[in-house]
Amino acid sequence: MKIRIQENGFTQQAEILRKCIAERIPPESEEGKLSIALCADQTLGAQESYLITREEDGWKITGADSAGLFYGIGKFLHSAKWTEDTLEPNPPTNLVTPACGFRAIYFAVHFYNWYHMAPTGELENYLKELLLWGYNAVICIIPIINLDTFDEALFFDSVEKTRTIFKLAKKLSMKVGIICVGNQGLKSAPAEYNADLSYDPTGKFRGHLGRNLCPSKPGVLDYMKRIWMTTMEQYQDIGLDYLITWPYDEGGCGCARCKPWGGNGYSELVLAFREESIKLYPNAKFIISAWLFDTPDNQGEYESLYPRLRNDLSFADFILVDAHDKFPRYPLEHEAVKPIINFPEISMWKVYPWGGRGANPMPKRFQGFWDETKHILKGGMPYSEGIYDDIMKIQCVGYYWEPDRRVQSILCEYINYEYSGEVCGEALEIMELIEKNHVAVAALREPDINAANRAAELAVAVEKRLSERAKKSWRWRILYIRAQIDKMVYAYYSNVDMSREEALYECRHTPEHCLAGNAQVQALLQELCGYYHCVDSNGENEATLPPVEGGKVKR
């Protein structure tokens, strides 16, 4: 299909549009001609808005700004009907404005996951794809949790990787930010600095990751200031748009002088952190995280934090609210003091290793969360440890653009663009069947063997209807692989000679435990290793995949 793009000075946008089309249809096909004009008009509407109009000789995509033009291009591509040789545009023709201004994705750059290991070219391509789906910011962290000193290679590697990501994001006009944990020290921190772990004695709910320190002890605050500044100084030439403080999982202290942590010890650290951070980034937006506040019981954290958000913490631009399982009740039942954003946990819920079976769609679960919370939310920042959660990334950002949109509509657009519009119903059913068993086994209920078999059979049938490009795409393959491995895991469960509790535990964990020696599973795991860039099966990437038989990954 012959494509004529009128750039009108928008070279970067035109390049991305041209590349996306060329990846799907032959650029010199005689099947048809299409003219696309790219424009910007600041009077169009609010920032990041776009308008797609049918013109006499083709189509015109107009953004209210450079970002809006990117989003308009994304919608133009995602909503089109694609064949082997042509695309038939079918975009909305009304002015489109995002409901939520904060639409960030959090890249967890550690544990040898995809973000840690992916080459720069793939990172850039993925950022472009997330931008076209509607994200406007990327957030990262330097994992102090893993460091003994700032002189080790892991620190320099983390700095280099996050700087690479931020530079790529800035190139695309996306915003960037970092998370700093208020009381997370290096592993080599003096033992006398240790926090009181009584905020969660078992470590079951909030975790005791790394070295959490007590800021009420002499010397700790000055020590933490050096940690913060060493972290923040790494990005001065790039610039940070968001600074986020963090209370738990990494962080927390339960001593008498610090509790309730959220409204007392942590809040005091937030004040100190802001005082330091504005020396380097006076114009950055400030986000106070309340992740896992009042978990598992009401300990007065929200109750003590909210008054401070009206007073000495009034500088906060957002408060981040969320938890692993249920959204906290206090923010739903009390008037918002600051704009609230969420932190959907799309990567790690109730299966280990996180991406060990492939894609992990949970459309019903996250639709339910959104329905409960959308009336108080002004955006969000999904937590991601890899590309296996790609489906839910798109589900979440779809809500940030259109809060009343349903998951079926969002994911049908995803399926249309990434697989084929002809298989929307079947692909959605595969995702729903995978989720059905994921949720059941998470609750230690019996898996539905028939549902697992149905998902695997549908995946085989769908693949036969896909183009060669779609069949080979990693997005399709990780969904296909999940359906096949689930079928084998649950079949193993139904025949295994062990207690029900042991078998259900096996179903939630590494396929290696269930199916070691199974050639088909090992081949699928090897394929996942290639997509995830797991170097080998030496256990360094154990949070992403189980050890794979046969050593080195085949490239």
pLDDT digits (tens, 9 = 90+) for 83-121: 988 899 999 999 999 999 999 999 999 888 999 999 999
Q: What is the pLDDT of residue 555?
A: 34
pLDDT tens per residue, range 161-188: 999 999 999 999 999 999 999 999 999 9
Cβ-Cβ contacts under 8 Å for 371 (sequence gap 6 or more): none
> What amino acid occupies position 389?
D
Instruction: Report the distance separating Cα 99 and Cα 167, nearest Å.
Output: 27
Cβ-Cβ contacts under 8 Å for 495 (sequence gap 6 or more): none
Looking at residues 540-548, what average pLDDT do you find? 82
Chain centroid, CA 29 distance in Å: 37
Q: What is the pLDDT of residue 553?
A: 45
Looking at residues 413-438, what average pLDDT do you find? 98
Q: Tell me how crowded residue 19 is: count the other CB atoms within 10 A of its CB.
A: 11
**E-only strand ranges, 396-544:** none
Q: Say whether pLDDT at 322 is over 70.
A: yes
Instruction: Report the distance separating Cα 347 and Cα 380, nearest Å.
Output: 15
Q: What is the pLDDT of residue 2?
A: 84
Q: Say whether pLDDT at 427 is over 60.
A: yes
Question: Comparing C-alpha atoms, which of 284, 277, 287, 396 is closest to residue 344?
Answer: 396
- Quickly tell me which residue has 């986020």 as its tokens: 244
Instruction: Report the distance separating Cα 7 and Cα 419, nearest Å.
Output: 28
Instruction: Report the distance separating Cα 284 and Cα 530, nearest Å.
Output: 38
pLDDT tens per residue, range 381-417: 999 999 999 999 999 999 999 999 999 999 999 999 9
Highest mean pLDDT among 145-149, 240-244, 546-550: 240-244
The full DSSP string for 230-241 is: HHHGGGTTT--S
Cβ-Cβ contacts under 8 Å for 368 (sequence gap 6 or more): none
The full DSSP string for 118-135 is: --HHHHHHHHHHHHHHT-
Percent of the chain with pLDDT over 70: 97
Instruction: Report the distance separating Cα 395 and Cα 127, nearest Å.
Output: 16
Q: What is the pLDDT of residue 411?
A: 98
pLDDT tens per residue, range 15-62: 999 999 999 988 665 566 889 999 999 999 999 999 999 999 899 999
Q: What is the pLDDT of residue 551?
A: 53
Q: Say whether pLDDT at 554 is over 70.
A: no
pLDDT tens per residue, range 62-75: 999 999 999 999 99
Provide the residue count of the chain.
Answer: 555
3-state helix, strand, coil in the chain (%, to 5): 45, 15, 40
Highest mean pLDDT among 142-146, 266-270, 352-356, 440-444: 266-270
Instruction: Report the distance separating Cα 70 and Cα 132, nearest Å.
Output: 6
Q: What is the pLDDT of residue 28?
A: 67
Q: Which domains does the chain have, with CATH numbers?
A: 2-88 (3.30.379.10), 102-343 (3.20.20.80), 425-532 (no CATH)
Q: What is the pLDDT of residue 498?
A: 84
Cβ-Cβ contacts under 8 Å for 106 (sequence gap 6 or more): 138, 139, 140, 179, 343, 381, 382, 383, 384
Percent of the chain with pLDDT over 90: 83
Q: What is the CA radius of gyration of the chain?
A: 24
Q: What is the pLDDT of residue 461?
A: 98
Looking at residues 495-514, what average pLDDT do you find? 83
- What does pLDDT average to over the chain? 94
For residues 36 and 21, is the Cβ–Cβ distance under 8 A? no
pTM of the shown model: 0.97
Instruction: Report the distance separating Cα 34 and Cα 358, nearest Å.
Output: 37
